[in-house]
Structure 1
Amino acid sequence: MMYDRVGALPASRTDFVLESIKEAILYGKLKPGQALVETDLAATLNVSKTPVREALKTLAGSGLVVMSPYKGATVRTVDAEMASSVYDVRMLMEPEALRRSVALGADFAEARSALDDTSDLARRSLANRRFHRALYAGCGNPLMVQILDGLRDQAALITVAGWGISPTWDAEDAEHRAILVAAEEGFGDAAADLLRRHIQTFADRVVEELPDVVR
C-alpha cells in the first residue's frame, strides 16, 4: 500500500484507486511535480491500468493532477497563483454559506467531531476538510455547496503545502473553535466574519511564502 488509509473503505475498485492516489497526494507520499506512471501505480495498488487511468482523469478534473501530452500525468505543483485563485473564491462564498447555515439552524455536530480528529498530519488534513464542509453544507443552496466541494481537493493540497512551510495548525485549531462557538450559538454574522478572517490570514501567509507560478 502507498499509504495508511484513513476512514471508511471505498465502495468499488475504481473508488479505491481514486482515493488511494488522492490521499497519497494530499498526505505527501506522492510529491508535487512527481510523475504518475500508470503501470507503476497499477502495480503498487494491485489493479489493472484501466482504473488508474480513470482515476488520473478524475483527479485532473479536480485540480490535483496535471495532464500533459508530453510529460503525461504529474502531481500538481502548488504555486502562489493557484493558492490566490482558490482562496479568492473561498473568501467570497464560504463565509456567506456559513451565515446561511446558521440562519437555517444547521446542525454543526460534524464540525465539532472534526475538531478532535487531529492526531497526525493525515488526520489533520482530513479533519480540516470535514470541518470546513460541515460549516457550509447546511446553507440551503445546493449549487453553492457543489462549487465549494469542487475546491476541496485543491484547498487541501494548498493547506498541506502551507503546513509544510510553516506548521500553524495550533493557531488554526483555536480559530476553528471560535468560529464553531459563534455558529452554534446562532451568531451567523460573527461566525462568518471569523471564518473570513481565518481564510484570509492563511491565504495571505501561504501566497506570500509559496513560489510564483510554475510553468
Structure 2
Amino acid sequence: MTSVPMPIPSRTQYVLEGIKHRILTGQLTPGQALVETELAAQFGVSKTPVREALKTLAGTGLVVMSQYKGVTVRMVDADMAREVYDVRLLLEPEALRRAVRRGASLEAARDALARSDRAADTAERSLANREFHRALYLSCGNPLLGRMLDEVRDQAALVSAVAWAADPSWEREAAEHREILRLALDADADGAAAALHAHIASFVHRAFPEVREEEGHQ
C-alpha cells in the first residue's frame, strides 16, 4: 500500500511559512544561523514546531543542517544556481509548451503579472514572480512534471532573491514575462517555450557569470 503523507501540524506550518517568507524575501540571508530558541520566541511557539519546520525546509533545500554549525540558510553560489536552473531549463519550457497546446487557461499567470506590476516592495514582487512561473507550468497536463518543478521552486526563488539584492532587474524580467505570456495567449506553444527558455537562461547567466564561463569550458 502507498503511504499517505501526514499533514503538517498547524503551528509547524505557521512557522514553516514564516521562515520561508523571510528567506525568500531576503530578511534572512544565506549563511545566517537559525537558532531554535530565537525563532520560537519570535513566533510565540515552543521549540518543537520550529525544529520540525527547519527539518522540512532542509528537505526542500532552503536551509542546511550541520552537526557542527547548526542550522543555517543555504548559501547561494554558481554551483547551486547551475543545478537549480539546469532543471528549470530542461522541464519548465516543455511544461509551458504542453500547457499552451492543451489550451489551458493562463488567467492565473496574467493575474500574477499584474500583481507584480502593482507590487509595493521586493517581497510582494518576488512572491508574484514565483506565482507567475508556477501558473505557466501547472496546467501542463502531467501532475508529476508539475511536482518536479514545484520541488525546485523554493531553491530557484532563493537564487533569485540573492541575485536581485545584488542587481535589481525587475523591469527587464517583467518585459520578458509579458512577451512569454503574449506568445502563450496567442497559442504559439513553441515560441512561448523558446522565450521562457531564453528568459531563464539569461537570468542565471546575468546573475552568475561564472556559470557561463564554466559551461564554455565543458
2:123 is aligned with 1:125:
no
After TM superposition, the structure 1 stretch with the greater mean CA deviation from structure 2, 28-37 or 92-101, is 28-37
Aligned residues: 201
Give the structure-1-normalised TM-score. 0.91
Residues 81, 207 of structure 1: 8 Å contact kept? no
Alignment of 1:53-68 (within 5 A): 53-68=51-66
Equivalence for 1:137? 138
**Secondary structure of 1:151's partner?**
helix
Q: Which runs of 4+ in 1 moved over 3 A?
A: none
**Secondary structure of 1:117's partner?**
helix
Partner Cα distance (1:105, 1:50) in 2: 46
Equivalence for 1:162? 163
Identify unmatched segments of 5+ residues in structure 2: 1-7, 212-218
**Secondary structure of 2:115's partner?**
coil
Equivalence for 2:14? 16
**Secondary structure of 1:22's partner?**
helix
One-letter code aligned to 1:95: P
More helix by share: 2
Equivalence for 1:89? 87
The alignment's C-alpha RMSD in Å is: 1.4
**Secondary structure of 2:65's partner?**
strand
How far did residue 12 of structure 1 move? 2.1
Partner Cα distance (1:146, 1:191) in 2: 21
Equivalence for 2:216? none
2:184 is aligned with 1:186:
no
Equivalence for 2:5? none
How far did residue 11 of structure 1 move? 8.7
How far did residue 95 of structure 1 move? 0.3
Equivalence for 1:33? 31
Partner Cα distance (1:127, 1:143) in 2: 23
Alpha-carbon displacement from aligned partner over 1:17-65 (angstroms, at most 9, x marks no partner): 0000000111111111111110100000000111100100000011110
One-letter code aligned to 1:68: S
Equivalence for 2:214? none
Partner Cα distance (2:102, 2:9) in 1: 32
Alpha-carbon displacement from aligned partner over 1:120-146 (angstroms, at most 9, x marks no partner): 100111011100000000111111101
Equivalence for 2:200? 199
Identify unmatched segments of 5+ residues in structure 1: 1-9, 211-215
